[in-house]
Amino acid sequence: MTVDPAARVAELRAQIAHHNERYFAMDAPEISDADFDLLVRELTELEAAHPELAVADSPTQTVGASATFAPVEHEIPMMSLDKAFNTDEFDNWHTRLVRAAGEGRELGSFVCELKFDGLAISARYENGTLVRAATRGDGRVGEDVTANVATIANVPKQLGSDAPAILEVRGEVYMPISDFNALNDARREAGEQLYANPRNTAAGSLRQKDASVTASRNLRWFAYQLGQVEGAPTLTRHSETFEYLDSLGFPVNDQVKVVESADAVKAYFADAEARRHEFDYETDGAVAKIDSLAMQRDLGVTSHHPRWAIAFKFQPEEKSTKLIDIQVSIGGKGKATPFAVLEPVFVGGSTVQMATLHNEDQVKVKNIRPGDTVLVRKAGDVIPEVLGPVLSERAPDLPEWTFPTHCSCENHHPLSRSEGDAAHYCLHPTCPIQRDAWIEHFAARAAMDIEGFGERTVQLFTAQGLLSDIAGVYELDFEAVGQIEGFGEISVRNLETSIEASKGQGLGRLLIGLNIRHLGNSGAHVLAKAFGHLDKIIEADLETLASVDGVGPTIAESLRAYFDDEINLGIIERLRAAGVDFNGPEVIEVDQTLEGLAIVVSGGLENFSRDSVKDAITSRGGKSPGSVSKKTTALVVGESPGASKVTKAEELGVPIIDEAAFVELLETGVVPPG
Ligand code: IVH
């Protein structure tokens, strides 16, 4: 079948215009960025192959903009970046540049940066005062969002006395992932429609008529480029821009790295993609820029993008797929949770075919129906999420989904939802699905962590009558287990060992395993710490329970109801008899060795995660700021530290130490001599 290129170009333009409108005007995209890029790409290629079809107002030449804010003409256009979707395309870019540089002339070093998935902003300072902030718009004319940008905490409003006459700083405004998740958690609780992703939420928050709405959201930005500058020291390298911006108090990202070869750029890209989930902000790629500003000038720009920079795009984290069905799973304690059954789709590094939909209201606010094409996203690290339907692809007569009225187990007991509760429950005490789910939950990793005690094993044991509740896990007849097909001597012994080991998991995990309605994992650990022993929780009255920080009245009531139930108390006594540890964690007092000290960490450490390194510093009374200043006690450098931090520390004479010296510093409070 041949496709008429003119017809396809028209179709693509219409589709792109539609999706631009959804994205820019409504902040409600229907397709993923990756799918959108593919449309633009196909159109760009068709226009290149058929120049007679190219027109000035093609979406390949413009980006969407709206008329809500006053227009601002950029003195220097805000260009976009050329993109490479794989290393071959990067190599092609590099080869082109080497050729363009001319025989015998080196390109020199590259500056590698992350490509933040936020919204580009230009902030203009005159004699050190922030006078105007604008969005990128179509690159030539943007929108005046000064009042909104002025509410962003880490955008300097006033620079020091050494500020130049004119300084235009460009950077990316974003919403930290942790703030985005907290915002959505609150909306989920309130039964409100969830925001699609941090980028759109940041864009929506920034483009508010009422700047106090912007102020209520924790937006941030990273500065990464200079625009118009007058009266500033002459810089010769892009990497110096970061040092300069940092010295003026602008937040620069700590992953910036100067490298010397194209291979090292590719290594940076690969590393950045592998570590993208370590950051509390979204990235959709990494950027390489030629470091030498003289070389940048010589290479020049096209009508869209500078030749001296390229964005390497990461694998997309949002994709569209078919919603095959919505089913309901029954958890321990009978909670009925709807989940999406999806046509398998590779997103965010793994194949997704199921995603929780939380409860009936969430299915309603997401407005999805079996048969819909839906957008799927990997939220945070691992949990896949259905964002919503692609309405333009919905069949006209697609029926709405309704919550099942009965449990799918053999008892077919009605599912009920009580007032004020978002969840449905099957309240039948002998529901076999509930029983199995509870035992499985008890043995799961976050609870008693019994290896080899997954769904299949639980179902096998309950079906054989070897197990009927969680206490039964510690009363198992291993001889009978050994008779079951597939359970050899070694697997029985392994199972016995891991069950025995689980007895010592401690109160926090035990509380999780007890499966108390409304009590989440962190609440369980808080309780364990606060009470120190299960019996103290069992004896506590409602008021005492509710007074624990992070518990509150709903959980307190649920705890009381749980521990007033004879059946539950019977199970607990059997757990005690089996020797399960009912004690909470010992509260260890750490020496305040770092009181009054500020320690900045840059790059990956071997024995600390990002969180644990912060914890190690703050629990000892120290501070762990994000940037180096005169007040910094030491800069700890790990794998791939941020270049600007290292330079800054060197400039200011702040000691730079490695991980081993850091460990010593934690213990002694003294920076070991280098
Ligand atoms: S430099 C002339 N650096 O990507 C180059 N842009 O497609 C100007 N972006 O509009 C941009 N991270 O919103 C640059 N480290 C980074 C970036 C970055 C994200 C965005 C920015 C820009 C778009 C270009």
Q: Which distant-in-sequence residues (6+ apart) come within 8 Å of 30 by Cβ?
A: 19, 22, 375, 388, 390, 391, 392
Report whether residue 83 contacts ligand 1, using a CB cutoff of 6 Å.
Answer: no
Task: Report yes or no: 357 and 386 within 8 Å, Cβ to Cβ.
Answer: yes
Phi first, then psi, for residue 400 (nearest 5°) are -70, 160
- Which atom of ligand 1 sits closest to the CA of residue 113? 15
> Could you tell me the distance, in angstroms and rounded to a whole number, from the CA of residue 120 to the centre of ligand 1?
7
> Could you tell me the distance, in angstroms and rounded to a whole number, from the CA of residue 128 to the centre of ligand 1?
24
Q: Where are the alpha helices (DSSP H) in 578-625?
A: 610-618
Task: State yes or no: is 378 an active-site residue.
Answer: no
**Parallel, antiparallel or unpaired: strands 599-602 and 634-637:** parallel
Pocket test for ligand 1, best of 117, 287, 304 (most atoms within 8 A of CB): 287
Amino acid letter, 206: L
In this structure, which residue's CA is closest to atom 16 in ligand 1?
115
CATH superfamily of 317-407: Nucleic acid-binding proteins (2.40.50.140)
CATH superfamily of 432-578: 5' to 3' exonuclease, C-terminal subdomain (1.10.150.20)
Pocket test for ligand 1, best of 85, 224, 303 (most atoms within 8 A of CB): 224
Report whether residue 238 contacts ligand 1, using a CB cutoff of 6 Å.
Answer: no
Task: Report yes or no: 286 and 268 within 8 Å, Cβ to Cβ.
Answer: yes
**Tokens (6 digits) for 90:** 């990067």
pLDDT, tens only, 292-341: 999 999 999 988 899 999 999 987 778 899 999 999 999 887 899 999 99
Residue-averaged pLDDT of the chain: 89
Pocket test for ligand 1, best of 41, 121, 172, 296 (most atoms within 8 A of CB): 172
- Which atom of ligand 1 sits closest to the CA of residue 136? 10
pLDDT, tens only, 102-129: 988 999 999 999 999 999 999 999 999 9
Report whether residue 246 contacts ligand 1, using a CB cutoff of 6 Å.
Answer: no
In CATH, the number for domain 5-62 is 1.10.287.610
pLDDT mean over 80-100: 94
Report whether residue 224 contacts ligand 1, using a CB cutoff of 6 Å.
Answer: yes
Domain extents in the chain: 5-62, 72-313, 317-407, 432-578, 599-668
pLDDT mean over 467-493: 93
| pLDDT surpasses 90 at 665 | yes
- Pick 124 or 137 by higher pLDDT: 124
Alpha-carbon distances, residue 468 vs 71, 499, 569 (angstroms) = 69, 16, 16
Pocket test for ligand 1, best of 33, 81, 254 (most atoms within 8 A of CB): 81
Report whether residue 284 contacts ligand 1, using a CB cutoff of 6 Å.
Answer: no
Report whether residue 136 contacts ligand 1, using a CB cutoff of 6 Å.
Answer: yes
Report whether residue 313 contacts ligand 1, using a CB cutoff of 6 Å.
Answer: no
β-strand partners of 604: 639
- Which atom of ligand 1 sits closest to the CA of residue 115? 12
Report whether residue 524 contacts ligand 1, using a CB cutoff of 6 Å.
Answer: no
Give the global pTM. 0.53
| pLDDT surpasses 90 at 1 | no
pLDDT, tens only, 390-413: 998 999 999 999 999 999 888 888
Q: Give dist(CA 261, CA 98) in Å, integer.
A: 12
Q: What is the 3-state secondary structure (H, E, C) of 330-360?
A: ECHHHEEEEEEEEEEEEECCEEEEEEECCCH
> Could you tell me the distance, in angstroms and rounded to a whole number, from the CA of residue 220 to the centre of ligand 1?
16
In this structure, which residue's CA is closest to atom 15 in ligand 1?
115
Q: Give dist(CA 244, CA 644) in Å, integer.
A: 9
- Which atom of ligand 1 sits closest to the CA of residue 114? 15
Report whether residue 562 contacts ligand 1, using a CB cutoff of 6 Å.
Answer: no
Q: Which distant-in-sequence residues (6+ apart) come within 8 Å of 145 by Cβ?
A: 69, 121, 133, 134, 135, 206, 207
Report whether residue 308 contacts ligand 1, using a CB cutoff of 6 Å.
Answer: no
Catalytic residue among 115, 289, 378, 645: 115
> Could you tell me the distance, in angstroms and rounded to a whole number, from the CA of residue 292 to the centre of ligand 1?
18
Q: Considering all CA atoms of the chain, what is the largest pairwise distance in Å, rounded to the nearest integer?
A: 86
Q: Which of 416, 412, 435 is nearest to 331 (CA)?
A: 435
pLDDT of residue 67: 39
pLDDT, tens only, 224-281: 999 999 999 999 999 999 999 999 999 999 999 999 999 999 999 999 998 988 899 9
CATH class of 72-313: alpha beta
- Which atom of ligand 1 sits closest to the CA of residue 119? 13
Q: If DSSP codes are grouped into helix, strand and coil, which group holds residue 218? A: coil
CATH superfamily of 599-668: BRCT domain (3.40.50.10190)
Q: Give dist(CA 153, CA 144) in Å, integer.
A: 18
